[in-house]
Amino acid sequence: MTQRMLETATDGSTRHPQFAGAAVLEVLAVLFVLPLFWGWWTLGHAPLVSPVELALAFDAPLFKKANSATGSTGVIKKLGEVHVTYGAAYETSLRPSADDAETKYAENIAPRLGIGRSQDVMAPYKGMRLDV
Does residue 96 belong to any structural domain of this protein? yes
Does residue 5 belong to any structural domain of this protein? no
Query: Can you give the pTM of this predicted structure?
Result: 0.40
Structural domains of the chain, count: 1
pLDDT at 45: 64
Does residue 28 belong to any structural domain of this protein? no
Does residue 12 belong to any structural domain of this protein? no
Does residue 8 belong to any structural domain of this protein? no
Residue 104 has pLDDT above 70, yes or no: no
114 strand-pairing partners: 87
How far is the CA of 78 from the CAs of 11, 41, 45, 71, 97, in angstroms? 66, 25, 18, 11, 29
Does residue 81 belong to any structural domain of this protein? yes
The DSSP string of 28-77 is HHHHHHGGGGTTGGGGSS-----HHHHHHHTT-GGGTTS-GGGHHHHHHH
Residues with Cβ within 8 Å of 120's Cβ and at least 6 positions away in sequence, in order, are 89, 90, 92, 95
* Containing structural domain, residue 101: 47-122
Does residue 14 belong to any structural domain of this protein? no
pLDDT at 38: 85
* Alpha carbons 57 and 51: distance in angstroms, whole number: 10
Look at phi and psi of residue 25 and say left if phi exceeds 0, alpha if psi is from -120 to 50, else beta: alpha
Could you report the per-residue pLDDT of 9-38, keeping only the tens digit for each?
777 788 899 999 999 999 999 999 999 888
pLDDT at 28: 97
The identity of residue 103, as a single letter, is T
Does residue 113 belong to any structural domain of this protein? yes
